[in-house]
Amino acid sequence: MIRMHNVSKVYANGTIALDHVNVHIRKGEFVFIVGASGAGKSTFIKMLLREELPTSGELQVNGHDVIHMAHEDVPYLRRGLGVIFQDYRLLPDKTVFENVAFAMQVIEAPRRLMQHSVNAVLDIVGLREKFRCFPSQLSGGEQQRVAIARAIVNNPSIVIADEPTGNLDPETSWDIMDIFQRINQSGTTIVMATHDKNIVDTMQRRVIAIENGHIVRDEQQGVYGYEA
């Protein structure tokens, strides 16, 4: 699913974000990416989305050669990825239904399929009854649920989440993680960057720790490993 071989990223100012990183993430895995701010987690995530390109090395995501692929093929790479951010990134002038449906409009999905799929994912995240609400009428946890629904509505093979519980209280964070676990149980690969020690330690999934651009730990049933 995801393979990095000797991947390095050096920015124009000389900052080394990643240094000879080797990672293989298989289909159906649930992987936490952990490390201090500035360790290289964001660069790691952005490379999977092809928002950043490695300076050297090889990177494959979902069978795509991310480094050498043609610019016009990038949308096809991203269609296989569901992306969730800390700040939700919902469209404020669109309803819950419209925010989720937007992801299907982009790929020109048939209207009948859109209606069925949006309702199905709103059921998964528990927001079917709020389909007419606007983001401003929702709590932070509900907004993140909408963001998750939008990310999975096109049945991506990989979901990439960047600090998805960062703005949420502990109880709401666990509600969100329950949704991620259900998505993962359906066979979807999850890659999640997080600073949430409690979640990582409790769930005991694979943990990849990055420090100063290097992978210093890669453990099955791992722990956060840093002070909260």
Gap between the Cα atoms of 53 and 9, Å rounded: 8
Instruction: Summarize pLDDT for 83-126 with one digit per residue, the tens.
Output: 999 899 999 999 999 999 999 999 999 999 999 999 999 999 99
Share of the chain above pLDDT 70, in %: 100
The answer to whether 141 and 175 are in contact (CB under 8 A) is yes
CA of residue 152 relative to chain centroid, distance: 10
pTM of structure? 0.95
For every residue of the chain, which 3-state class applies, written as one string? CEEEEEEEEECCCCCEEEEEEEEEECCCCEEEEECCCCCCHHHHHHHHCCCCCCCEEEEEECCEECCCCCHHHHHHHHHCEEEEECCCCCCCCCCHHHHHHHHHHHCCCCHHHHHHHHHHHHHHCCCHHHCCCCHHHCCHHHHHHHHHHHHHCCCCCEEEEECCCCCCCHHHHHHHHHHHHHHHHCCCEEEEECCCHHHHHHHCCEEEEEECCEEEEEECCCCCCCCC
Q: Which two tokens stand for residue 147?
A: 């963001």
CA of residue 49 relative to chain centroid, distance: 9
Mean of the pLDDT values across residues 64-86?
94
Q: According to the model, what pLDDT value does residue 37 have?
A: 87
Beta strands at 56-61 and 2-10: parallel, antiparallel or unpaired: antiparallel
Residue 138 pLDDT exceeds 80: yes
Mean of the pLDDT values across residues 161-190?
96
Gap between the Cα atoms of 88 and 145, Å rounded: 9
**Can you say whether residue 207 is alpha, beta or left, with left for phi > 0 and alpha for psi between -120 and 50 degrees?**
beta
Instruction: Summarize pLDDT for 1-50 with one digit per residue, the tens.
Output: 999 999 999 999 999 999 999 999 999 999 999 999 889 999 999 999 99
Nearest to 103 by CA among 121, 87, 86: 121
Nearest to 135 by CA among 174, 176, 97, 85: 97
Q: According to the model, what pLDDT value does residue 5 have?
A: 98
Q: According to the model, what pLDDT value does residue 228 have?
A: 60
- Mean pLDDT in the chain? 95
Look at the chain and count its residues.
Answer: 228
Q: What is the largest CA-CA distance in the chain?
A: 51
Q: According to the model, what pLDDT value does residue 227 have?
A: 75
